[in-house]
Structure 1
Amino acid sequence: MPSPAANAPAPEASLHVLVLDDDPLLLDVMREMLAVCGVSNIALETQACSALQRLDQSMPDVVICDLMMPEMDGIEFLQAAAAQGYQGKVILMSALEDGVREAAGELARALGLQVVGSFRKPLEQNQLRAALAC
């Protein structure tokens, strides 16, 4: 007979994840990747202003954020999210150089944000799964 733990849903199943990227195709890919990880409560946004409004409505457990976006970039978004009191985890992704991503991660940590991953695009399934499990 299986143990109760064997029947328990994966911790990822209860996560609420917000993905912010200006590329709608990448958002579709991220939705599929999150679904494979067992996440079903997924919000997708192409604009930082809309993502900030979502933070006001319901705080996600994890925000996955691109760094390079028009109008408001990822750093500006993270500053605003920290100012709004966001307490969840942050996963950064960008096609920018490693040093830029690392600097962005340090800045986010200095703002009091909990950065659990910083990855080059395209994010790989195993990277996403590991970051969500942190």
Structure 2
Amino acid sequence: MKPCSILIVEDHPFQHLYLQNLFSTLGNFDLAFARDGEAALACLKSRDFDLVLTDLLMPGMDGVQFIQGLAAHPSRPALAIMSAASRRMLMGASLVASNLQVKVIGLISKPVNAAALRCLISHLQSLRPTAPAATL
């Protein structure tokens, strides 16, 4: 099975490296990075992803505006939202996404830790279609 493809939408370069290192400890993933919502929407036009992991607080197009753009995208990947903001803000953004028929599979408080990503990946893998068993 091909690795899960994940688009990480995060404006801080340090967070890119940090998340890349965390994911590398958890397995083999096809990671792509976008620095803001507009760049992420452009990435989504060029290829499909299994998951989008987005920050909420970004300059320019913030996470909620990005979620609105994601809802208009024809092939909607699963969504996980991360933020250093309050849990209430994460829940509010999740509610917006759900109301727009975007499937939210994770809410992660920053700083992100390996256990939170492990749980997220487990949930993502449970959503992926399994290949039919080969017949002999």
Task: Please tell me the residue identity of whatever aligns with 2:62.
Answer: D
**Deviation of the 1:38 alpha carbon:** 1.1
Task: Please tell me the residue identity of whatever aligns with 2:85.
Answer: L
Using the alignment, how far apart are the partners of 1:39 and 1:113 within structure 2?
A: 25
Deviations 1:100-124 (A, max 9, x none): 1111111111111111111111111
Deviations 1:79-108 (A, max 9, x none): 101101242211100011111111111111
Deviations 1:69-88 (A, max 9, x none): 00000000011011012422
Query: Residue in 2 aligned with 1:34?
Result: 23
Using the alignment, how far apart are the partners of 2:118 and 2:4 within structure 1?
A: 12
* Superposition misfits of 4+ residues, deviation over 4 angstroms: none
Kindly indicate whether the alpha-carbon contact (under 8 Å) linking 1:63 and 1:91 is maintained by their aligned counterparts in 2: yes
Q: Structure 1 length as normaliser, TM-score?
A: 0.87
Kindly indicate whether the alpha-carbon contact (under 8 Å) linking 2:3 and 2:30 is maintained by their aligned counterparts in 1: yes
**Deviation of the 1:36 alpha carbon:** 1.4
Using the alignment, how far apart are the partners of 2:28 and 2:63 within structure 1?
A: 23
Task: Please tell me the residue identity of whatever aligns with 1:72.
Answer: M
Q: Unpaired runs of 5+ in structure 2?
A: 124-136
Task: Please tell me the residue identity of whatever aligns with 2:21.
Answer: E
With over 3 angstroms needed to count, the CA separation of the structure-2 counterparts of 1:108 and 1:40, relative to structure 1, is same
What is the RMSD of the two structures over their aligned residues, measured on CA atoms? 1.3
With over 3 angstroms needed to count, the CA separation of the structure-2 counterparts of 1:66 and 1:85, relative to structure 1, is same
Matched, 1:95 2:81: no
**Deviation of the 1:39 alpha carbon:** 3.1
Q: Unpaired runs of 5+ in structure 1?
A: 1-10
Q: Structure 2 length as normaliser, TM-score?
A: 0.85
Kindly indicate whether the alpha-carbon contact (under 8 Å) linking 1:86 and 1:113 is maintained by their aligned counterparts in 2: no
With over 3 angstroms needed to count, the CA separation of the structure-2 counterparts of 1:111 and 1:95, relative to structure 1, is same
Deviates more, 1:34-43 or 1:55-64: 34-43
Kindly indicate whether the alpha-carbon contact (under 8 Å) linking 1:93 and 1:119 is maintained by their aligned counterparts in 2: yes
Q: Percent identity?
A: 27
Count of aligned pairs between the two proteins? 123
